[in-house]
A and B are shown apart, each in its own frame.
Chain A
Amino acid sequence: MDELKSPILQVRHLSKSFGDNVVLRDINFETRHGNVICIIGASGSGKSTLLRCINMLETPTSGQILFHGQDITGKGIDINAYRAKVGMVFQSFNLFNNMTVLGNCMAGVTKVLKKDKKTAEDTAMKYLSKVGMAEYINAKPHQLSGGQKQRVAIARALAMEPEVLLFDEPTSALDPQMVGEVLEVMRSLAKEGMTMVIVTHEMAFARDVSSRVVFMKDGVVAEEGEPAELFGNPKQEATKDFLARFRNQ
């Protein structure tokens, strides 16, 4: 059971700058099998950039990202194979507009994992049923509501059967009614032991589901801890300020 004990993902001394603009400074954290890490913080604190660095959509300026101990920022790493194991769900869904719901969920399985069509279809249907979108397999993305799109996007990521799922503010582009249906899906994933890293503004959700919460401010990890502790008894002034603003809303 070594696999369960050793970290899946480790971020070490990660920094990222765009020109002179330093967005991330010396970020460190790790996640183990079945952990749910929520990253919270004000807009512009670098949460999304951190997540995009983990999936190598942004190239870190310095530092390491270790996946099962292997540095994926190094030379000669097959980034595509890594990305197939680390799924990502975006704020703006990013479903393929030229494909149906079913096509979206099958594309990665057939083209990247090279599974046959029948297997891909079964896998896609399994996860579309899980997110409650099995009825909509013939629909095109533009015919769906935001919440439905995001649930399909989650199914698409799940169909790759990844080891880790990254969520980049998955409910920020949704109206309040639809936020619930997406969070519900994510809650059930957490319950099933899916390893997830979630950037979110949903504090109640973060408190309920996460194993650890990371609070970011101005490109650094300002505080990190168990959700009960970080939300109930924050140590840093910055964390207190941030949480107070959410309570007042």
Chain B
Amino acid sequence: MNLPGDADFFGWVLYIAKHYGVIFLNGAGVTLLLALVGTLIGCVIGLLVGVLRTLPVRRDANPFVKTLHRLLQFILAAYIEVFRGTPMIVQAMVLYYGSMQVFKVDMTPLFAGFFVVSINTGAYMAETVLGGIDSIDIGQTEGAMAIGMSHWQTMLYVIMPQTLRNILPQIGNNLIINIKDTSVLNVISVTELYFSGNSAAGAFMRYFEVFFLICVIYFVMTFTCSRLLLWIEHKIDGSSYYSLVKSDMMADPSGHNPVHMGGGKTWTN
């Protein structure tokens, strides 16, 4: 085997890319999978916890319901504080080895990884969602209540769609953070990108060149994601104009109103 010279930086980079490229790409795939699934499940947890934290309790509710409500709020607050207040690397160790020792559950490192990233993201997202809900004008809630919507309907149809749009940048932020921070899962031997980099570096004792490559791969992933998210945000905002519906609905021969029969385009702003 012809190894590059000791001072040949690019030689080493190419050599490692050639021999470890597939392994690195596999690692990158695992990293991306962990980040995407973790962020997705985290968002679901965050939305659920966030909405539950806004759950109102009627003043005339019976004491049992009130106690239950208080207990639920305590558990949710505790969940957020504990998972926000401890490092993910430590959570991974506690969960992975703890489940084995205490509950005799032998989960795979990857499963433990999904678990840790999800509940960690969930704790952060819960706070983001709560802030997002608070930022929606109270008039939106009152408008929904005034036509008879329940708390859940108000949340589902009026508040959440607006909240989601507002916190989309924060969700993207979390995804990017997760792409980077899943690297800590190497402590429980999840074969993500950092882990595969470490094994390659160990094999040749070329830490700089290997991690330079790893660095580039991480950046490509995060940059692509951030651009993609920007594009999605623009898509959701939709067009800045609307079309007037000129035709008279009573004259519509189909008997159905012509929602899609757009007239002239009206530009705003």
Contacts A125-B257, A157-B147; A57 near B249 (Cβ below 8 A): no
Give the residue among A87, A125, A138, A139 with the most B Cβ atoms within 10 A: A138
Docked pose: A213 CA to B17 CA in angstroms:
84
Smallest Cβ-Cβ distance to A156: which chain B residue:
B147
Docked pose: A57 CA to B147 CA in angstroms:
12
Are B140 and A107 in contact, CB atoms less than 8 angstroms apart? no
Docked pose: A125 CA to B256 CA in angstroms:
10
Q: Number of contacting residues on A, CB 8 A?
A: 43
Q: Choose among A80, A98, A125, A134 the residue that contacts B148 (Cβ–Cβ < 8 A).
A: A80
Docked pose: A88 CA to B142 CA in angstroms:
9
Tell yes or no: A59 within 8 A of B by CB: yes
* Interface bits A60-75 vs B (CB < 8 Å: 1, else 0): 0000000000000001
* Interface bits A158-183 vs B (CB < 8 Å: 1, else 0): 00100000000000000000000000
Q: Which of B1-9, B156-164, B188-196 contacts A (4 or more CB under 8 A)?
A: B156-164
Are B147 and A90 in contact, CB atoms less than 8 angstroms apart? no
Are A83 and B257 in contact, CB atoms less than 8 angstroms apart? no
Q: Which of B21-29, B31-39, B174-182, B237-245 contacts A (4 or more CB under 8 A)?
A: B237-245
Q: Choose among B158, B243, B256, B259 the residue that contacts A96 (Cβ–Cβ < 8 A).
A: B158
Docked pose: A143 CA to B268 CA in angstroms:
7
Smallest Cβ-Cβ distance to A107: which chain B residue:
B157
Tell yes or no: A95 within 8 A of B by CB: yes
Are A92 and B139 in contact, CB atoms less than 8 angstroms apart? yes
Contacts A92-B139, A94-B142; A84 near B148 (Cβ below 8 A): yes
Are A98 and B143 in contact, CB atoms less than 8 angstroms apart? no
Tell yes or no: A129 within 8 A of B by CB: yes
B203 to chain A, nearest CB (A): 54
Tell yes or no: B59 within 8 A of A by CB: yes
Tell yes or no: A235 within 8 A of B by CB: no
Are B259 and A138 in contact, CB atoms less than 8 angstroms apart? yes
Q: Which residues of A contact B268 (CB under 8 A)?
A: 143
Are A112 and B147 in contact, CB atoms less than 8 angstroms apart? yes
Q: Which residues of A contact B244 (CB under 8 A)?
A: 135-136, 138
* Interface bits A92-104 vs B (CB < 8 Å: 1, else 0): 1111111010100
Q: Which residues of A contact B257 (CB under 8 A)?
A: 121-122, 125, 137
Q: Which residues of A contact B150 (CB under 8 A)?
A: 80
Q: Which residues of B contact A135 (CB under 8 A)?
A: 244-246, 263
Tell yes or no: B144 within 8 A of A by CB: yes
A244 to chain B, nearest CB (A): 34
Are B242 and A97 in contact, CB atoms less than 8 angstroms apart? no
A189 to chain B, nearest CB (A): 17
Docked pose: A83 CA to B146 CA in angstroms:
6
Are B145 and A96 in contact, CB atoms less than 8 angstroms apart? no
Tell yes or no: B227 within 8 A of A by CB: no
B3 to chain A, nearest CB (A): 60
Docked pose: A107 CA to B154 CA in angstroms:
10
Are A75 and B60 in contact, CB atoms less than 8 angstroms apart? yes
Are A143 and B242 in contact, CB atoms less than 8 angstroms apart? yes
Are B243 and A125 in contact, CB atoms less than 8 angstroms apart? no
Are A125 and B145 in contact, CB atoms less than 8 angstroms apart? no
Smallest Cβ-Cβ distance to B238: which chain A residue:
A140
Are B148 and A83 in contact, CB atoms less than 8 angstroms apart? yes
Tell yes or no: A7 within 8 A of B by CB: no
Are A57 and B145 in contact, CB atoms less than 8 angstroms apart? yes
Q: Choose among B59, B145, B157, B263 the residue that contacts A59 (Cβ–Cβ < 8 A).
A: B59
Which residues of chain B from 39 to 86 have a CB within 8 Å of any chain A CB? Answer: 59-60
Are A95 and B143 in contact, CB atoms less than 8 angstroms apart? yes
Are A96 and B144 in contact, CB atoms less than 8 angstroms apart? yes
A219 to chain B, nearest CB (A): 22
Are B143 and A96 in contact, CB atoms less than 8 angstroms apart? yes
Which residues of chain B from 226 to 260 have a CB within 8 Å of any chain A CB? Answer: 238, 241-246, 249, 256-257, 259
Apart from A107-B158, A112-B149, A121-B257: 18 A-B pairs, beta carbons within 8 A: A57-B142, A59-B59, A80-B148, A94-B143, A97-B140, A97-B162, A98-B162, A98-B165, A112-B147, A112-B148, A118-B256, A134-B245, A137-B257, A139-B242, A140-B242, A143-B242, A143-B268, A156-B147
What are some 28 contacts across the A-B interface (CB < 8 A)?
A55-B146, A80-B145, A83-B148, A87-B146, A94-B137, A94-B140, A94-B146, A96-B144, A97-B140, A100-B242, A107-B149, A108-B147, A111-B149, A111-B153, A112-B147, A112-B148, A121-B259, A135-B245, A136-B244, A137-B245, A138-B242, A138-B244, A138-B262, A140-B242, A143-B242, A143-B268, A160-B147, A160-B148
Please name the 7 residue pairs, one residue from A and one from B, whose CB atoms are nearest each other, closest first: A84-B148, A94-B143, A108-B147, A88-B146, A94-B139, A139-B242, A83-B148
